[in-house]
């Protein structure tokens, strides 16, 4: 009784990443490991998708069945995650693991995919990852788009009037700048756009409630980031010169707007809230493109 209770407690305290790592045991073939035991370098190459299909399958079975290899992989993931925290890289470990699962699924030697484990795998993965779906960010899935046209707002500057105050406008424009940096190769026109947008938000040290100010700034910068990325997707969609942004990407943006719409409510910015609510419910790319332009104009 005691051992079972203790094991349940450990499972309850396991992080989403640890539970995802454990799923590899369910996905693997029931056969014993094939081929020679992999080195740490081979496990890393497998993790990065650099091995050929045959050796990748062998390494996968070793990781799933050999506790020593499994621990090496866990240590690799842990070190990778720690490095991300130190360098503040935007790509999350969950995003990396999702990409890894995609590699497994599409590998030619996926005999495990024909077993009854597939249904169980899908149920567990969805349950574990559901909290992450709503928090998708363009930083998790950056698009490097070589756009051939210029930022149309380069000649505009932030004013003190309008529906948003100056601090709120700066926060949104910092997000717009981040969008351009993340999703374009910054040709000359986009380099000029970066120069016209603020690099940093205004400090909150003199605000009545510093914590509220900081949270508001963070949310509005996120609004700017998603607005900027969707605006670039709109240029791609409307002019048909490039095809960088897939329908799945547009769907991710719409789901993200639903989360942002909820986060905005405590800020009491009615006009902006209305635009974001419409973005989160619209199924029309044309309507969404008009809405993101409205948000950009609100930041000037």
- Residues 237-283 have pLDDT tens digits of 888 655 788 888 999 999 999 999 999 999 989 999 999 999 999 98
- What range defines the domain where residue 102 resides? 2-133
Instruction: Tell me how far apart the alpha carbons of residues 242 and 204 are, in angstroms, rounded to a whole number.
Output: 40
- Choosing from 100, 116, 133, the residue where a domain stops is 133
pLDDT at 13: 53
pLDDT tens, residue by residue, 273-285: 999 999 999 989 9
Out of 116, 133, 150, pick the residue that ends a domain: 133
* Residue 145, beta-bridge partner list: 184
Classify residue 270 by burial, with Cβ atoms within 10 Å: 0-12, 13-18, 19+. Answer: exposed
Contact at 8 Å (CB) between 64 and 70? yes
Same domain, 146 and 111: no
Q: Do residues 203 and 238 share a domain?
A: yes
What is d(CA 217, CA 202) in angstroms, rounded to the nearest whole number? Answer: 8
Of the three residues 93, 117, 133, the one that is the final residue of a domain is: 133
Between the CA of residue 160 and those of 220, 241, 296, 299, 300, what are the distances in Å?
17, 36, 15, 10, 8
147 and 128 within one domain: no
Same domain, 151 and 102: no
3-state percent breakdown (helix, strand, coil) of the chain, nearest 5? 70, 0, 30
173-194 pLDDT, tens digit each: 999 999 998 887 766 678 878 8
Structure tokens at 34: 């094939």
Closest CA to 230 of 160, 297, 285, 165: 285
pTM: 0.57
- Provide the CB-side half-sphere exposure for 51 (13 A, CA): 24
């Amino acid at each position: 009784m005691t051992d079972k209770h203790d094991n349940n407690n450990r499972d309850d305290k396991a992080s989403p990443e640890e539970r995802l790592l454990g799923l590899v045991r369910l996905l693997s073939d029931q056969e014993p490991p094939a081929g020679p035991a992999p080195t740490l370098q081979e496990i890393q190459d497998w993790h990065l998708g650099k091995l050929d299909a045959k050796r990748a399958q062998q390494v996968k079975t070793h990781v799933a069945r050999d506790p020593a290899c499994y621990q090496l992989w866990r240590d690799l993931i842990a070190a990778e995650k720690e490095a991300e925290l130190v360098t503040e890289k935007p790509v999350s470990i969950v995003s990396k693991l999702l990409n890894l699962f995609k590699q497994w699924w599409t590998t030619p030697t996926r005999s495990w995919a024909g077993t009854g484990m597939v249904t169980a795998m899908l149920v567990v993965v969805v349950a574990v990852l559901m909290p992450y779906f709503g928090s998708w960010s363009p930083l998790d899935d950056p698009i490097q788009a070589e756009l051939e046209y210029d930022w149309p707002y380069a000649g505009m500057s932030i004013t003190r009037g309008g529906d948003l105050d100056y601090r709120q406008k700066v926060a949104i424009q910092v997000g717009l700048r981040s969008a351009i940096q993340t999703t374009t190769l910054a040709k000359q026109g986009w380099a000029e756009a970066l120069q016209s947008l603020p690099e940093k938000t205004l400090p909150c040290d003199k605000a009545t409630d510093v914590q509220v100010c900081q949270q508001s700034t963070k949310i509005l910068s996120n609004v700017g980031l998603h607005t900027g990325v969707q605006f670039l997707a709109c240029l791609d969609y409307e002019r048909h010169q490039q095809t960088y942004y897939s329908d799945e990407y547009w769907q991710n943006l719409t789901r993200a707007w639903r989360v942002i719409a909820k986060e905005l409510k405590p800020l009491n910015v009615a006009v902006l809230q209305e635009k974001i609510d419409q973005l989160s419910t619209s199924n029309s790319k044309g309507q969404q493109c008009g809405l993101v332009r409205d948000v950009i104009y609100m930041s000037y």
